Amino acid sequence: MAGGKLSARQKMINLMYLVFIAMMAMNMSKEVLSAFGLMEAKFADSNSLTGDRNTALLEDLEKKAEEKPEEFLVSSGKAKAISDISNDFYNYIETLKVDLLKNGNYAVDSETGKLPFEAMDKTDILDEMWFTGDRLTKKGDAVMVKIEDYKKRIKDILGKDVKATKVLNNFEKTFNTEKVENKDGKKIDWLDYHFKGFPAIASYTKLTAMQNDVRVTESNMINYYMGNVLSDAVTLDKYKAIVLADKSAFFAGEKFQGRVVIGKYAKVPPTKLVVQGEEIDLSKAIDSSGAATLDFNVGNVGEHQIDGKFTFMEDGKPLEIDIKGNYVVVPRPNSATISADKMNVVYRGVDNPMTISFAGVPDNKVTATGTGLSKASGQGKYIMKAPTGKDVTINVTATLDDGSKATDSKTFRIKDIPAPTGMISGQTGVVKLPKRNVEVGTVGAKLDDFVFDLPIETTSFKIKVPGQPTVNVAGTKMNSQAKAAIRRARSGDNITIFDIKARITGNASYRLKNVSPVVVEVTN
């Protein structure tokens, strides 16, 4: 399972696989089974030593965290979490080994303290426990779930720290559980490849080797976290102080509110903080992340600089880091921005969308009122249903950060929807059409150059053919009487379509102005 350079441990693992190949060639001789037993014993001894060493490292790191919590507390906590997760998974693997021995009726010799290596040649123990045909049993699935859970918990602790990339990559290689290509070139599941069909002693040894991977991983990560705090402690001169304002601009007379941080939130707290020439009380200004909270009166309208210094102790000497930043003070607002999204007027009979805001004030602190005005979805969005009368006034109130109120208002003219234009077959005004086209044409109405795209439906109209009585028509198509009158028209006659009745689709209550007529000059 391990990758990278050939360490002594890796050579041991490689040798184990060579021995297995030899075992296959020698038909599982007792000498080969014993060799596996010896390999297992070496791994077990190594696990014990590595576990003791990890415990000592962790205890040392915990003592440092007690002595200098500002430097070692965070890393110590992560290392402790790594150790707890590792112990959980290590103990789980131990239960798998116990199950293997129990189901194979193998026991440790009371005199030698060793397992009966030469007798552990059964290949069906884990096969029956973990596999069923080409699939895994519930127990086999549980094994994979436990491995993946262990990997996820470890990676969650490492997080996305760039410095942990190498450690994380090595961990991924060591516990890579992707499908493996067998000797036939077929990719099979990781558990199948490593444990199916193997003699009991080989599987037992592999589980002990996996425990060794866990202990070595634990050791590497504890050492990483010890090196990580040291790296943070000696590279502070590469950090920069950053001013994070609560907002980008402030009103005259307000207090500046924001934070000053050191680069990526250094774990080492400062010993002194000076801003704008005044020393800040660190016990009140520094939070758990290492950020310093600022709170001072801003200047007059315009751009201003923030100057100061962070002081840290490094190698027993004070290290000063300059604080540089700026902020802008804008005038306190005294007028609102109110605009109709379509025009500077509102129309009766339609929903007039409007955007209402107050400069420098969030939408949830702005209130707008007016006859027919209602809030719509979206920031600063409203709908105006124009009332009766010639104009409507919208009043706006803003609540500023200090609790004071700012108000403004604006009056909009109210206009009716303009008169629609009559049309036949999509043409308006005076048109030239053959009689046949007039007979089959559709009469309608539309709003020319109106800011809203309103659907207009025609309900009736009248048609007058020279020398013929006026015909009333319901709907948009010529009836039989109208068609008969049209057939009697002569070339050059002007047929007038007038008194066109139309309404807004879905709003029958609004009465549109009279629709203009259409005149058709009959052609051959």
pLDDT digits (tens, 9 = 90+) for 412-444: 999 999 999 999 999 999 999 999 999 999 999
Residues sharing a CB contact under 8 Å with residue 204, sequence separation 6 or more, in sequence order: 40, 97, 100, 101, 115, 120
On the question of pLDDT at 232 being above 50, the answer is no
Q: Same structural domain for residues 406 and 466?
A: no
Per-residue confidence (pLDDT) for residue 139, from 0 to 100: 94
Range name among 46-55, 130-139, 332-341 with the lowest pLDDT average: 332-341
On the question of pLDDT at 199 being above 50, the answer is yes
Q: Same structural domain for residues 299 and 385?
A: no
Q: Distances from the Cα of 159 to the Cαs of 28, 132, 136, 155, 156, in angstroms?
A: 45, 37, 31, 6, 5
Do residues 25 and 55 make contact, with C-beta atoms less than 8 angstroms apart? no
- Bridge partner residues of 308 (DSSP): 275, 323
Q: Same structural domain for residues 408 and 445?
A: no
On the question of pLDDT at 522 being above 80, the answer is yes
On the question of pLDDT at 290 being above 70, the answer is no
The region that residue 401 occupies, defined by phi over 0 for left and psi between -120 and 50 for alpha, beta otherwise, is: alpha
Mean pLDDT of 70-86: 88
Q: How confident is the model at residue 465 (pLDDT cuts 50, 70, 90)?
A: very high
Range name among 116-120, 185-189, 354-358, 383-387 with the lowest pLDDT average: 116-120
Q: Answer whether residue 454 is part of any domain.
A: yes
Q: How confident is the model at residue 34 (pLDDT cuts 50, 70, 90)?
A: low
Q: Same structural domain for residues 230 and 241?
A: no
Angle 435-441-442 from CA coordinates, rounded to 5°: 155
> What whole-number distance in Å separates Cα of residue 349 and Cα of residue 503?
11
Q: Same structural domain for residues 264 and 207?
A: no
On the question of pLDDT at 376 being above 90, the answer is yes
> What whole-number distance in Å separates Cα of residue 177 and Cα of residue 349?
68
Q: Answer whether residue 1 is part of any domain.
A: no
Per-residue confidence (pLDDT) for residue 310, from 0 to 100: 80
Residue 360: how many CA atoms within 13 Å on its side-chain side? 20
Q: Distances from the Cα of 294 to the Cαs of 19, 299, 403, in angstroms?
A: 67, 15, 21
Per-residue confidence (pLDDT) for residue 295, from 0 to 100: 78
Q: Same structural domain for residues 203 and 120?
A: yes
Per-residue confidence (pLDDT) for residue 246, from 0 to 100: 66
Q: Same structural domain for residues 393 and 478?
A: no
Domain closes at, from 234, 260, 294? 234
Q: Where are the alpha helices (DSSP H) in 107-137?
A: 125-130
Percentages (nearest 5) of helix, strand, coil residues in the chain:
40, 30, 30
Q: How confident is the model at residue 14 (pLDDT cuts 50, 70, 90)?
A: low
Range name among 135-144, 198-207, 274-283 with the lowest pLDDT average: 274-283
Q: Same structural domain for residues 311 and 381?
A: no
Print the domain residue range for 427. Answer: 421-523
Domain closes at, from 302, 330, 358? 330
On the question of pLDDT at 286 being above 80, the answer is no
Mean pLDDT of 361-382: 91
Q: Answer whether residue 2 is part of any domain.
A: no
- Bridge partner residues of 394 (DSSP): 410
Give the position of tokens 């004071």.
404
Number of domains composing the chain: 4
On the question of pLDDT at 453 being above 70, the answer is yes
Q: Answer whether residue 255 is part of any domain.
A: yes
Would you state the structure tokens that stand for residue 353, as one six-digit string? 């969308």
Q: Same structural domain for residues 87 and 177?
A: yes
Q: How confident is the model at residue 237 (pLDDT cuts 50, 70, 90)?
A: low
> What whole-number distance in Å separates Cα of residue 405 and Cα of residue 251?
14
Q: Answer whether residue 51 is part of any domain.
A: yes
Q: Distances from the Cα of 95 to the Cαs of 48, 98, 102, 282, 520, in angstroms?
A: 17, 5, 10, 51, 97
Neighbours of 511 (CB within 10 A): 11
Q: Distances from the Cα of 228 to the Cαs of 74, 89, 174, in angstroms?
A: 11, 25, 22
Per-residue confidence (pLDDT) for residue 292, from 0 to 100: 75
Question: How high is the mean pLDDT of the chain?
Answer: 83
Q: Same structural domain for residues 323 and 403?
A: no
Task: Please provide residue 120's backbone torsions phi and psi, each rounded to the nearest 5 degrees.
Answer: -90, 65
Per-residue confidence (pLDDT) for residue 3, from 0 to 100: 44
On the question of pLDDT at 397 being above 90, the answer is yes
Q: Same structural domain for residues 285 and 404?
A: no
Mean pLDDT of 204-213: 90
Instruction: Estimate the crossing angle of helix 69-103 against helix 200-234, to 10 degrees.
Output: 180
CATH number of the domain bearing residue 299 = 2.60.40.10
Interval 318-362: pLDDT, tens: 778 888 777 777 667 666 767 666 668 999 989 999 999 887 788
Domain closes at, from 330, 347, 368? 330
Per-residue confidence (pLDDT) for residue 1, from 0 to 100: 47
Per-residue confidence (pLDDT) for residue 201, from 0 to 100: 85
Mean pLDDT of 262-271: 61
* Higher pLDDT among residues 265 and 15, named by residue: 15
Per-residue confidence (pLDDT) for residue 265, from 0 to 100: 52
Q: Answer whether residue 203 is part of any domain.
A: yes
Angle 38-42-43 from CA coordinates, rounded to 5°: 115
pTM of the model: 0.43
SS3 238: helix
Q: Answer whether residue 186 is part of any domain.
A: yes
Do residues 89 and 143 make contact, with C-beta atoms less than 8 angstroms apart? no
Q: Distances from the Cα of 244 to the Cαs of 260, 275, 321, 340, in angstroms?
A: 6, 14, 16, 36
On the question of pLDDT at 398 being above 60, the answer is yes
Q: Answer whether residue 363 is part of any domain.
A: yes
Would you state the structure tokens that stand for residue 488, as one six-digit string? 């009697």
Q: How confident is the model at residue 27 (pLDDT cuts 50, 70, 90)?
A: very low
DSSP assignment of 34-100 equals HHHHHHHHHHHHHHHHHHHHHHHHHHHHHHHHHH-HHHHHHHHHHHHHHHHHHHHHHHHHHHHHHHH
Q: Same structural domain for residues 225 and 242?
A: no
Q: Distances from the Cα of 140 to the Cαs of 92, 99, 145, 195, 205, in angstroms?
A: 13, 13, 9, 11, 18
